[in-house]
Amino acid sequence: MQESTLFTGSVRENIVLGREGVDDAELMRVTDLSGAHEFLGQIANGYDLRLSDRGEGLSGGQRQAIAVARALAGSPRIVLLDEPTSAMDAQTEAALIQRLQIELKDRTLVLITHRPQLVSLVSRIILLDKGGVVADGPRDEVMAKLQRPRAVA
């Protein structure tokens, strides 16, 4: 989600994106979770706001909130998030992480991130470097290994 892809159409259409069963209640639920509802409630057209390709006119954090809502819509068992907070301020990111900890509790999350704040969302870390796995294991174990100073040769 580093570059949140939005399409020409309404905010609603961008979140639902052809999924069946995403009614207004589900739309409100996922936008509350992502933080998008907060700013959409302040915009005249709200969920019917027409977006151009790439969501021009919205901040990077707002585009990410819409993309996170799309990823959560319909409660998929597996959720893939790629740098979901890279354009969000620290306060917005912390609030989103807190909500996602509850929302994703019994689901599989595949998370691509460079941000240590997001690691609290996962139970297992697979750390890649230059195309190879350099660490794999429970979150706390991998984080402890990363905190140890490396021996200087």
pLDDT band at 152 (very low <50, low <70, confident <90, very high): low
How confident is the model over 60-70, as pLDDT tens digits?
999 999 999 99
pLDDT at 151 over 60: no
Average pLDDT, the chain: 92
Share of the chain above pLDDT 90, in %: 82
Q: How far is CA 34 from the centre of its chain?
A: 7
Domains, the chain, in order of start with CATH, read: 9-106 (3.40.50.300)
pLDDT bin (cut points 50, 70, 90) of residue 153 is: low
Rounded Cα distance, 104 and 101, in Å: 6
* 32 Ramachandran zone, left/alpha/beta (phi>0; psi -120 to 50): alpha
Helices 24-34 and 60-72: angle between axes, nearest 10 degrees? 130
